[in-house]
Amino acid sequence: MSERIIGIMGAMPEEIDGAISLLNNPQRAVIGMRSYTTGTINGIKTVVVFSRWGKVAASATAATLIHIYKITELIFTGVAGAIDPTLKIGDIVIAKRLIQHDLDARPLMGRFEIPLLGITYLECNTQQLDNARKAITPLIVNNILRDTIGENVLSEFGIVNPNLHIGDIASGDQFFSSELQKQQLNEALPTVVCVEMEGAAVAQVCYEHKIPFTVIRTISDTADEKSHIDFPIFIEKISSRYSVAIIEQLYQN
């Protein structure tokens, strides 16, 4: 049985800085313009890296984790824009399935179908999904996020009672910043609850290498004309701290 090695990827440098702070005996190496930091968390070998933005960058990072660092599972954290109107800023989404919303090879194959794989959705391992649900639920139910971040900071972004959601996530090389984009995505993929730029690409790399993966996103905006407002501040004050709390809970479980 191979040694357990967890790869942690983050979509923002601030989130990765927080994850690196959890490592014991951190060691840093630069490969392909990316800084990989190895160490242990709760005795488990771990590699932490900033994925960079977009599907190609994230795929390259995931491939390095698999081939160079020999990870046996991958955790991806980051932010996302809400598509489902029931999602609020500060909510957490665990991916059940992921799809590339900008993949379209018609008429050669169906819209969203991944060439040569013959599938459109990449499903998360049920055990990984359940582990994530069990780990994150106490953060909300026991008000750990509120106590860690502080009610004053949360209130700056209108976060009162964040919720945990499990659902479909769409990925593509687009930043959603209009209501029209949301409507078009919802019409094409009605089960999708939020949108981001890396998750489905990372999921495909993991799928092809039989690596279990978990994609966890914090809702940072409503994927419309207000998407750019206070985004850097949200990353600094909210999502980076969410990521640290989530990773700590995952390792405790």
Q: What is the pLDDT of residue 235?
A: 87
Q: Spell out the domain ranges in the chain.
A: 5-252
| CA 136 to chain CA mean position, Å | 14
For the CA atoms of 86, 91, 97, 100, the dihedral, rounded to the nearest 10 degrees, stands at 90
From residue 56, alpha-carbon distances to 15, 199, 205 in Å are 20, 11, 11
Q: Looking at this protein, which amino acid is placed at residue 225?
A: E
Domain 5-252 in CATH 3.40.50.1580? The answer is: yes
From residue 48, alpha-carbon distances to 37, 72, 117, 146, 247 in Å are 5, 14, 29, 25, 11
End-to-end CA, the chain: 21
| CA 20 to chain CA mean position, Å | 16
pTM: 0.94
Please answer whether residues 242 and 92 qualify as being in contact, where contact means their C-beta atoms are separated by less than 8 angstroms: yes
The encoded tokens of residue 84 equal 């489902």
Please answer whether residues 104 and 75 qualify as being in contact, where contact means their C-beta atoms are separated by less than 8 angstroms: no
Return d(Cα 236, Cα 98) in angstroms, integer: 26
Return d(Cα 204, Cα 199) in angstroms, integer: 9
The verdict on whether omega for the bond into residue 232 sits within 30 degrees of 0, i.e. cis, is no
Return d(Cα 203, Cα 211) in angstroms, integer: 9
Q: What is the pLDDT of residue 227?
A: 59
Q: Kindly give the parts of the chain with pLDDT less than 50.
A: none
Count of alpha carbons within 13 angstroms of residue 199, beta-carbon side: 34
Contact partners, residue 60, CB within 8 Å, separation at least 6: 32
In whole angstroms, how large is the CA radius of gyration of the chain?
17
